[in-house]
Amino acid sequence: MSDGFEAAEFITGFIAEAEEHLTLANANLLSLDQSAAKGQPTPRQVRELFRSLHTIKGLAAMVGIEPIVDVAHAMETVLREADRAAGQLPAGSVELLLRGTRAISQRVTALAKRKPVAAAPATLIEALNALRQSGGGRPEASAGTTLPDELWARLGNAEREQLMQGLSAGRRGVVATFVPAPERASAGVNITSVRERMATVAEIVKVVPQSIPSTESAPGGLAFALIVLTDATDEVVAEASSSDPATLRPIALQSGAAPSLDEGDESEDDTNPRQQGVVRVEVARLDDALEKLSALVVTQFRLTRALAALRASGTDTRALALVVADNGRQLRDLRSSIMRARMVPVAEVLERVPLLLRGLSRATGKPARLELRTGKTELDKAVAERIFPAVVHLIRNAADHALESPAERRAAGKPETGLITVVAVERSDNQLELTISDDGRGIDAVAVARRAGVPVPATDDGLLELLTRPGLSTKTENTTTSGRGVGMDVVKRIAVDELRGALAMTTIRGQGTTFVLRVPLSITIVDAFSFVSGGETFVVPVAMVEEIQELDPTRTVRGPDRRRVARDTPDRRQVARGTDMIERRGEAVPLLRLDEIFGLAVEGVAGRKVIIVRRNGEPYAFAVDRMLGQQEVVVRPLEDRLVRVEGISGTTDLGDGKPTLVLDLVALGGKLSAGPAPGRERARA
């Protein structure tokens, strides 16, 4: 290494590599934990975990982060001993190894934030060293056995490991042969009865049928080789298998051990990002590319307007129109390419959830398993970062509130281990549906209503509206996981208010609860409808709209009165006004007029359109003057709290140089259903 080496130059690369290997390490640790609970050896996961930690240790040493080196080295030592024991970890090691990965992760995070890196935790290092010393003494697994090749080839990986583990632990391996014959069959002795008898005196690894020459003692030309691990004598094994003790064949370990972790062998399926043509790019660079693309989208609007103006003046614009059309197609292709570069797999977003659920299960005393079904779905990284806290809240609620205790589940005829399922599906080119469900007790609407001091809601949508009230918690006392009044309101704020998506819920008492989040795949450049109402142009995202239809005045009816502020009265008094309703496929839908809501000039109803959205299962119709079309728009959120208005999610530029409001009609419908419409001053803030 030259004297001019500067470790700081490699810190960014180290952080990215370390985070990647920590993710792999945690995944393997969870797999180890599940296998350990079943008493199964895990040599493959042990080796992969070792490689991840070995890589982290080497990188940390290169950049001089000694605390990470110390922790990774102590963990490596434990794993090396486990590998020599055929993948069998000492009791309690998974929890210590998880503490080790957390310690490394905390120091990587401190390094990323340019904070001092804490020294390696001495108590953790001591515990790992003690674990290694107490876990030694197991015989080392060999590279093979004396089992004939034709039988070895018939064993699966798990069966081979079962045999190797048993032999390494000092158990006797035996091959017993049972040959079916007519006289044995007439006495009720067949392979089924032999298996049952053998299971009482030995651990059966596998029963392998074999073809043998037909003889007087074997008229069918068939035999069964029973590969077993046992502590019984040959006489007992022979009696159980209806065979002669002299025909039993012992199985022993061959000399020469299996390659250990010290030799640093690499499996053929190891992946290297460079070999796969993967380039790590900072998110800031992708954000910058998206910002440049946003400017091009606005320029495209300006070109379209200029072209329309030339056409209106009588200029022949056919050649220019072709160029503008080609430019529009190329711009859409560029947008698609940049958005694909920003996409991350949903499976990657949710990879921390299994570790989260493991901690929650231990904290609540409720065992639970997780099923993740994400397929190849992807979403924008910005959306992923926003939606993950909502998923965490729903998983936390399911583990703490929804799932019953093991005793309750047994009494209800359910498995002691609860089930939480997360499913991700792309519903369209611009929308992702996340479903989080559990098989718990369901939500007690009566208890929730009593807690909130309101009547019991009649529908799941009404119950969801109640659950998402800020500060509402069904817990009577604070715990490490619940009871602080923070939860479902956060989920609603993220999914509905921030991401302009939708949240739905269904629950069945005694069977479980399902939450469905529908969010856009991207929130910066979206497909949107533009329309005119009261002489002003507005925009609404396509993903928010359920239907657009003509307004038929003859099918509009007046419903119960509601109160609104009269803008033409000096004292701004409230006057009574009926709620308009329209009929939609046999359903009465409230009709809201945007020009009246925002205090704009009210035009005649001739030629009006209706935009229908749905909030918590309830449809709302918004009457507008006319639709302008559908296009890609760049949404600029309203960051200043002084100009934030519920129902307005941001602004965009349609090429005329003026800001155009992007409406959140779902939030606006909910706001207006709960109280008076906003006045002109607030809408124009």
Write the pLDDT tens digit of every residue in 142-199.
346 888 888 887 776 657 777 887 887 788 999 999 988 888 888 888 888 888 898 8
Q: Please give the CATH number for the structural domain made up of 7-134.
A: 1.20.120.160
Cα–Cα distances (Å) from 568 to 338, 414, 564, in that order, read 50, 64, 12
Average pLDDT over all residues of the chain: 78
What local confidence, expressed as pLDDT, does residue 266 receive? Answer: 38
Q: Which residue has the tokens 């998974």?
A: 94
Write the pLDDT tens digit of every residue in 511-568.
999 999 988 887 777 788 889 888 888 988 887 888 888 887 777 776 655 444 444 4
Handedness of CA 51, 54, 56, 58 (dihedral sign): negative
Q: Which residues of 263-283 are buried (b: 16+ CB within 10 A; e: fewer)?
A: eeeeeeeeeeeeeeeeeeeee
CB atoms near residue 1 (< 10 Å) = 5
Cα–Cα distances (Å) from 333 to 156, 297, 328, 522, 635, in that order, read 48, 12, 9, 16, 19
The secondary structure of 298-358 as a DSSP string is: HHHHHHHHHHHHHHHTT---HHHHHHHHHHHHHHHHHHHHHHHHHEEEHHHHTTTHHHHHH
Number of H helices, E strands in the chain: 22, 23
Nearest Cα to Cα of residue 581 among 534, 544, 527, 620: 620
**What distance in Å separates the CA atoms of residue 185 and residue 509, rounded to the nearest whole number?**
54
CB atoms near residue 319 (< 10 Å) = 8
Give the residue extent of every domain in the chain. Answer: 7-134, 149-261, 285-342, 350-520, 525-683
Residue range 149-261 in CATH 3.30.980: no
* Burial of residue 481, with CB atoms counted within 10 A of its CB: 0-12 exposed, 13-18 middle, 19 or more buried: middle
Nearest Cα to Cα of residue 584 among 553, 619, 615: 619
Q: Provide the CATH topology of domain 525-683.
A: OB fold (Dihydrolipoamide Acetyltransferase, E2P) (2.40.50)
Write the pLDDT tens digit of every residue in 204-234.
888 888 888 878 777 777 888 999 999 889 9
What local confidence, expressed as pLDDT, does residue 65 receive? Answer: 84
The secondary structure of 441-497 as a DSSP string is: ----HHHHHHHHTSPPPSSHHHHHHHHTSTT--S-SS--SSS-SS-SHHHHHIIIII
Q: Where are the alpha helices (H) located in 481-591, listed in sequence order?
A: 488-492
Q: Is the whole-model pTM more than 0.75? A: no
What local confidence, expressed as pLDDT, does residue 419 receive? Answer: 92
Write the pLDDT tens digit of every residue in 41-84.
667 777 788 888 888 887 787 777 888 888 888 888 888 777 76
Region of 86 (left: φ > 0; alpha: ψ -120 to 50; beta: rest) is left
Regions of the chain with pLDDT less than 70: 1-10, 36-42, 84-87, 91, 132-144, 156-158, 255-280, 428-429, 473-487, 558-579, 602-607, 616, 638-644, 670-685
SS3 39: coil
What DSSP designation does 562 have? E
- 138 within 8 A of 85, measured Cβ to Cβ: yes
Q: Where are the alpha helices (H) located in 607-676, listed in sequence order?
A: 665-674
Q: Among 3.90.1150.10, 3.50.50.60, 3.30.565.10, 3.40.50.2300, name the CATH number for the domain at 350-520.
A: 3.30.565.10
Q: Where are the alpha helices (H) located in 475-605, listed in sequence order?
A: 488-492, 594-597
Q: What is the rounded (10 degree) CA torsion for 383, 384, 386, 387?
A: 110
